[in-house]
Amino acid sequence: MTNVPTLPLGSYQIPIVGIGTLTVTDEDALEKMLNTALEAGYRHFDTAYLYRNEHLIGKVLNKWFTSGKVKREDIFITTKLPGEGIYPEGVEKFLKESLAALQLDYVDLYLVHSPIRIKPLNGKGFEAAEGLPTDHIGVWRELEKQVKAGRAKTIGVSNFNQRQVERLLKVAEIKPVCNQIELNVYLPQPQFVEFLQANGIVVVSYFSLGNPGVREQRVESGWWPAGVPDMLTDTTINRIAVRHNRTPAQILLKSLVQKKIVVIPKSVTPSRIRENLQLFDFNLDAEDVEAIAGIAIGEKARLSQIKRLQDHPEYPHPVVEA
């Protein structure tokens, strides 16, 4: 079993590598994935109300807890307040629903999933909940109450931009300990990362390996920059991978972990699940770091753009055409 290093998360600790569960809703696939991850040494699991799989994760974890294989305090669970619940009265309601599904008394990290109050469109995306303001401060006050009530050990945000984070820092009694954002070698956001880390906020990267499914949609619709490959097939990344006798995915993840950025890659393939955790017996050298910095694209490489929401005053990042 791999011992995964941790980073300070306020007075708490977060494993620097976890496993994401976005889009995994098949019970057999998720159970196999989680069992493989637990056996490999993963102790950090990232989910969300939006993912519709909290109940499946709770079922698997409960088996491990009752068998005595792991203790609750050994496992780090992140879940998130959904877009439709981003109003003060929604915080406790949705957190309690998540806890019931996960079969837990508390989560280790509870995040506001989006800076925009949104509503789902029957599984076909999202739109802003018109006429309903996004009350960041009111929502944050309710998150602080959940810490005091013992339902969340720590609290943070996801997809917030710097202006939105600063707004919370000015008023927070319990400051956000985390911002989970899209971050990878094509979209490194160095200034934003520096700001967050300087304020003691842990950066958690999603889409650390890109997201081939979403990328295909962006290519088909013309959003993805012409001629830019999937980062897993990028020639620079593959050259560095060969030199270190590693997989391209391991190089992409190491480039973030080495900067003290938490990664939560998702895979249902047992060999890849294990490989994604094997990052701590090698280091990228200065030449590698410089070469990786040279393939950065910036905002045009963002996969999480949602044009339907771009006119909302709290939309966290600009929509940039390819």
Q: Does some domain include residue 315?
A: no
Query: Across 120-124, 252-256, 312-316, which has the greatest mean pLDDT?
Result: 252-256
Q: Does some domain include residue 25?
A: yes
Q: Does some domain include residue 317?
A: no
**21 contacts 266 by C-beta, under 8 angstroms:** yes
* Residue 51 annotated as catalytic: yes
Q: Does some domain include residue 318?
A: no
pLDDT at 123: 52
Structure tokens at 142: 């309710």
Q: Does some domain include residue 164?
A: yes
**According to the 3-state scheme, what is the secondary structure of the chain?**
CCCCCEEEECCEEEECECEECCCCCCHHHHHHHHHHHHHHCCCEEECCHHHCCHHHHHHHHHHHHHHCCCCHHHCEEEEEECHHHCCHHHHHHHHHHHHHHHCCCCEEEEEECCCCCEEECCCCCEEECCCCCCCHHHHHHHHHHHHHCCCEEEEEEECCCHHHHHHHHHHCCCCCCEEEEECCCCCCCHHHHHHHHHCCCEEEEECECECHHHHHHHHHHCCCCCCCCCHHHCHHHHHHHHHHCCCHHHHHHHHHHCCCCEECCCCCCHHHHHHCCCCCCCCCCHHHHHHHHCCCCCHHHCCCCCHHHCCCCCCCCCCCCC
The CATH number covering residue 301 comes to 3.20.20.100
Task: Give per-residue pLDDT as tens, 287-300.
Answer: 999 999 999 999 98
Q: Does some domain include residue 319?
A: no
**15 contacts 43 by C-beta, under 8 angstroms:** yes
Given 42, 51, 87, 110, which residue is catalytic? 51
Task: Give per-residue pLDDT as tens, 219-265.
Answer: 777 777 777 889 999 999 999 999 999 999 999 999 999 999 999 99
Closest among 256, 255, 261, 154 to 197, alpha carbons compared: 261
Q: Does some domain include residue 141?
A: yes
Could you list the residue range(s) of the whole structural domain that residue 304 is in? 6-309
**36 contacts 28 by C-beta, under 8 angstroms:** no
Task: Give per-residue pLDDT as tens, 260-279.
Answer: 999 999 999 999 999 999 99
**135 contacts 87 by C-beta, under 8 angstroms:** yes
The total number of structural domains in the chain stands at 1
Q: Does some domain include residue 316?
A: no
pLDDT at 322: 62
